């Protein structure tokens, strides 16, 4: 799990821009004097309501407002993290002020509760929503609303005699693209006693049972469990054509009377986890259609894809086939090529088709080198052994094979030269304008 530092930096920058925007327009407010606030209006909203924004400002109708109060209200909106930009203007009429905020809402990401085995998501969501009425299962990546949400969860814990700190961080979504806002509790010290599935066939699967040692006995974490399901269990179903198999969400299941946490009764240190599984239908492959391809013909792409109409839609083989096509583009120097499939299911016939959009991008040729960490003679041996000459089409497969040789069979490259290293950092530096790519190697 990783925190997106780059995204956090972007958020901080956005907040600074928003704050400066709010301050730039605040100069319209009178330097001295106040007037009664009559109305607060907004534009640019997509998810929040005007009433919710007004509540976030802390301004009350009828209150006396001047420059300081208007700027403080704008600053409060910026600090929430809910807005990418905040600016305002106002009108004074009949002795009262009508305030207009011009807003652009910030991107929100899904909320994920990692290790709260005492509660279901619905109970945690309700606790957050009680403090943040606009909460819909998503929150921004930064801002003080995150601390408000964490405090709400901690208060829920406290009502159940659990005095534990709650943290939040932006992390990569373990199951999909993008980020999530993950909430975790510290100091729970609860481990996974067992992992049981509703599909009893998994109990007879020796590979699955062997992999259970990777998770049983480890600290309870929904993230870890769901990654395990995605990496070790879902492939079992994909290979059998169960392309719509639903795994989870994982549940804590205790035998006997559940502990009453309000009376100080605690969960055991090790808890059993149950995973409901719905396999749904087995699908067969119908066909694949290709768009955006010029370098490789549709006939050739279908050949690389491999599956024939009517065959079992083996999800693992389908992904491997798409990877083969990506490799073919890389072999031809199309390093930026993307291969994006869209599944089209016929649930009556239990078949699946794929519309595959290809963006080939430019073809790259071998450019220059940046090699660090070895002697000039070692560098010369690396260049001489490299299988792609300057100006040749850059074959990514040959490049990757060469990296393997550097790491595992260095003697074939350096022979008897006294070269010592443990790892080789490697990067490609493409120049789209020149259609060349430089190879960067760092020997450590």
- φ, ψ at 434 (rounded to 5°): -85, -10
Q: What is the residue extent of each domain of the chain?
A: 5-105, 108-185, 193-278, 284-359, 365-443
Q: Hey, what are 361's tokens? A: 């991008």
* Gap between the Cα atoms of 48 and 40, Å rounded: 14
* Gap between the Cα atoms of 334 and 296, Å rounded: 11
DSSP state of 348: T
pLDDT of residue 264: 61
pLDDT of residue 262: 60
* Gap between the Cα atoms of 128 and 149, Å rounded: 5
The H or E element that residue 359 is part of is strand 351-359
pLDDT of residue 12: 42
Residue whose structure tokens are 């990496």: 231
CATH number for region 284-359: 3.10.20.310
* Gap between the Cα atoms of 246 and 308, Å rounded: 26
pLDDT of residue 255: 62
**5-105 against 365-443: fold identical:** yes
Between the CA of residue 362 and those of 323, 359, 433, what are the distances in Å? 19, 10, 9
* H helix intervals, 194-285: 206-211, 222-228, 234-239
Q: What pTM value is reported for the model?
A: 0.75
pLDDT of residue 6: 41
Has domain 108-185 been given CATH number 3.40.50.880? no
* H helix intervals, 178-243: 206-211, 222-228, 234-239
pLDDT of residue 351: 98
pLDDT of residue 212: 94
Between the CA of residue 417 and those of 215, 379, 442, what are the distances in Å? 45, 11, 18
SS3 366: strand
* Gap between the Cα atoms of 47 and 104, Å rounded: 10
Q: Hey, what are 424's tokens? A: 């080789």
Superfamily per CATH, domain 5-105: membrane protein fhac (3.10.20.310)
**Ordered per-residue pLDDT tens for the chain, 444 residues:** 333 434 444 444 444 444 434 443 443 444 457 889 999 999 999 999 999 999 999 999 999 999 899 999 999 999 999 999 999 999 888 778 999 999 999 999 999 999 998 888 999 999 999 999 999 999 999 999 999 999 999 999 998 888 889 999 999 988 888 999 999 998 878 899 999 999 999 988 999 999 999 999 999 999 999 999 999 999 999 999 999 999 988 998 876 555 665 666 666 788 999 999 999 999 999 999 999 999 999 999 999 998 999 999 999 999 999 999 999 999 999 999 999 999 999 999 999 999 999 999 999 999 999 999 988 888 988 999 999 999 999 999 999 999 999 888 777 788 777 778 888 999 999 999 999 999 999 998
* Gap between the Cα atoms of 335 and 362, Å rounded: 8
Contact 429, 440 (CB under 8 A): yes
Query: Which CATH fold would you assign to the domain 365-443?
Result: Ubiquitin-like (UB roll) (3.10.20)
* Gap between the Cα atoms of 51 and 143, Å rounded: 20
């Amino acid at each position: 799990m990783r925190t997106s530092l780059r995204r956090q930096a972007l958020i901080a920058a956005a907040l600074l821009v928003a704050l400066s925007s709010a301050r730039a327009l605040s100069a319209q407010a009178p330097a001295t004097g106040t007037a009664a606030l009559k109305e607060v209006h907004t534009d640019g909203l997509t998810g929040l309501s005007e009433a919710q924004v007004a509540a976030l400002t802390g301004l009350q109708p009828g209150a006396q407002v001047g420059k300081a109060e208007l700027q403080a209200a704008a600053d409060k909106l910026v600090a929430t993290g809910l807005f990418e930009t905040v600016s305002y203007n106002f009108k004074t009429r009949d002795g009262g002020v009508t305030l207009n905020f011009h807003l652009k809402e910030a991107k929100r990401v899904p909320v994920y509760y990692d290790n709260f085995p005492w509660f279901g998501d619905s109970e945690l969501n309700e606790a957050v929503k009680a403090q943040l009425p606009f909460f819909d299962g998503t929150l921004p990546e930064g801002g003080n609303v995150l601390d408000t949400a964490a405090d709400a969860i901690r208060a829920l814990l406290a009502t159940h005699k659990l005095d534990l700190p709650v943290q939040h961080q932006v992390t990569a979504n373990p199951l999909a693209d993008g980020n999530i806002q993950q909430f975790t509790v510290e100091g729970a010290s609860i481990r996974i006693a067992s992992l049981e599935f509703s599909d009893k066939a998994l109990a007879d699967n020796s590979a699955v049972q062997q992999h259970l040692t990777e998770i049983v006995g480890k600290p309870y974490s929904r993230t870890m469990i769901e990654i395990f399901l995605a990496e070790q269990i879902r492939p079992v179903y994909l290979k059998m054509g169960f392309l719509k198999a639903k795994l989870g969400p994982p549940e804590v299941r205790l035998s006997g009377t559940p502990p009453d946490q309000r009376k100080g009764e605690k969960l055991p240190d090790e808890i059993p986890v149950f995973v409901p599984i719905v396999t749904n239908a087995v699908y067969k492959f119908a066909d694949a259609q290709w768009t955006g391809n010029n370098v490789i013909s549709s006939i050739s792409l279908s050949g690389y894809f491999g599956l024939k109409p009517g065959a079992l839609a083996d999800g693992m083989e389908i992904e491997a086939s798409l990877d083969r096509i990506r490799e073919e583009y890389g072999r031809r120097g199309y390093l930026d090529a993307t291969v994006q499939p869209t599944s089209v299911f016929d649930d009556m016939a239990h078949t699946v088709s794929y519309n595959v959009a290809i963006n080939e991008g430019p073809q790259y040729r071998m450019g220059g080198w940046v090699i660090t960490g070895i002697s000039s003679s070692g560098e010369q041996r690396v260049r001489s052994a490299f299988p792609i000459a300057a100006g040749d089409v850059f074959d990514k497969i040959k490049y990757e094979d060469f990296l393997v040789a550097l790491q595992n069979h260095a003697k074939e490259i350096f022979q008897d030269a006294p070269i010592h290293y443990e790892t080789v950092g490697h990067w490609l530096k493409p120049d789209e304008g020149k259609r060349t790519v430089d190879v960067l190697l760092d020997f450590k």
